[in-house]
Amino acid sequence: MKLVKTLAAGAILSVIAASASAYDADWKRGRVYYRSVCTSCHAVAPIGSINPSTKTKAEWAAYIKADKHAKGKDTVKQYVSKAYRASIKSGNKAAEKFADTPDQELLDDVAAFLNKGAKDGDAPASCS
């Protein structure tokens, strides 16, 4: 009986651990997405390209968390959404390639790339 209880508790714990563990972000996919989708718009918008190395890791983390894009006119999340990818995929290879990726995974990937490419990150990066 004791063994059964122990096993059951173990099973429950492992389920909790699995659901609590964050998605393992793929910064390489984030880089592709950032350069192909985010930068392709910034480059033609009056703002111009935004290099990840212009902000620190903490600044990027706060930026993603605040989710206020373009001085608060819209959100960062909308640009990683499936709906946005669907709207541009005919002219954007990355949007087409990642058409079915869950929004949150793509946001985590972009955040991981920005963290790595930040001013004080492992590999300060430009946007192209």
Tell the smallest beta-carbon distance from residue 125 to ligand HEC (Å).
Answer: 13
For position 38 contacting ligand HEC by CB under 6 A, the verdict is: yes
Which residues, 6 or more positions from 75, have their beta carbon under 8 angstroms from its beta carbon?
67, 68, 69
Tokens at 31, concatenated: 């880089």
For position 70 contacting ligand HEC by CB under 6 A, the verdict is: yes
CA distances from 7 to 14, 43, 92 (A): 11, 56, 50
Tell me which stretch binds ligand HEC (CB under 6 A): 24-32, 76-84, 91-99, 119-127. Answer: 76-84
For position 111 contacting ligand HEC by CB under 6 A, the verdict is: no
For position 113 contacting ligand HEC by CB under 6 A, the verdict is: no
User: Closest Cα partner for 99 from 87, 111, 82?
Assistant: 82
For position 66 contacting ligand HEC by CB under 6 A, the verdict is: no
Tokens at 71, concatenated: 């001085």
| Single residue of 11, 15, 45, 123 touching ligand HEC by CB under 6 A | 45
User: Closest Cα partner for 28 from 91, 102, 106?
Assistant: 106
- For ligand HEC, the binding residues (CB under 6 A) are 37-38, 41-42, 45, 47, 50, 63, 69-71, 76, 79-80, 110
